[in-house]
Amino acid sequence: MHFSLCDLVADIAQNAAESGADTVKVDILETDTEFRFDIQDNGSGMTESDQKRALDPFCTDGKKHPHRKVGLGLPFLVQTAEQSGGGWELKSEKGKGTRVSAWFDSTNVDTPPLGNIPRLVRTVLLFNGPDNIFIQRSCKRDDKNCFWTASKKELVDVLGNMEDAGALVLLDQYLQSQEADDETAKVE
């Protein structure tokens, strides 16, 4: 079950990381009235019929989760975006990759809570799969204004194995500092 918008982003980003891609790009934008994300990969992509099946909650290829009879990632995303006054877009081409975008009216009572952005970024950076995971975060609200990026490859170069306890602590501190509402994180 998805309890926050960050859960939805993590689910779609995991699909991208598992698509056979060597590059995954995640853009996250937050304003006072909207939360938006865009996830792009250069993985295996989908045909038009594959896309229709991916949007059907009662259809799964059985590869990712062999014991499940349903595939709920994209259907949950679509339902949540539409019920909260937002929208979504899926573009994919077989052999070239997939792009999933969604936006949510953050003033709508049916929009789930945002969740923890630094924890989301940490989760995505730790996915098995491509070394080229890029995350761009923009926040333009009255009480906060930040812009930052994270690159899995660069962080591995600095931290080494990001699954080591010490590296995880440093990664968490780094991501929290990027999200901090202070003069160094603000974009003028």
Pairwise CA distance, residues 183 & 138, whole Å: 15
Helix, strand, coil fractions of the chain, as percent rounded to 5: 35, 25, 40
The pTM of the full predicted model, rounded to 2 decimals, is 0.88
pLDDT of residue 66: 44
Residue scoring higher pLDDT (187 or 12): 12
- Evaluate whether residue 188 is within a structural domain: no
Closest CA to 37 of 179, 128, 137, 126: 137
Residue scoring higher pLDDT (2 or 169): 169
- Considering its fold, how many domains does the chain have in total? 1
Q: In the predicted model, what is the mean pLDDT of residues 119-140?
A: 95
Confidence band, pLDDT 50/70/90 cuts, at residue 143: confident
The two tokens of residue 155 are 């962080």
- Evaluate whether residue 185 is within a structural domain: no
- Evaluate whether residue 184 is within a structural domain: no
Confidence band, pLDDT 50/70/90 cuts, at residue 30: very high
Structural domain including 156 reads 5-179
Instruction: Name 133's Cβ contacts closer than 8 Å, sequence gap at least 6.
Output: 17, 23, 24, 25, 26, 124, 125, 127, 151, 152, 153
- Evaluate whether residue 173 is within a structural domain: yes
- Evaluate whether residue 114 is within a structural domain: yes
CATH assignment at residue 79: 3.30.565
Average pLDDT over the chain reads 88
- Evaluate whether residue 86 is within a structural domain: yes
Q: Render pLDDT for 106-126 as a digit per residue (tens, 0 to 9).
A: 999 999 999 999 999 999 999
- Work out the percent of the chain whose per-residue pLDDT is above 70: 87
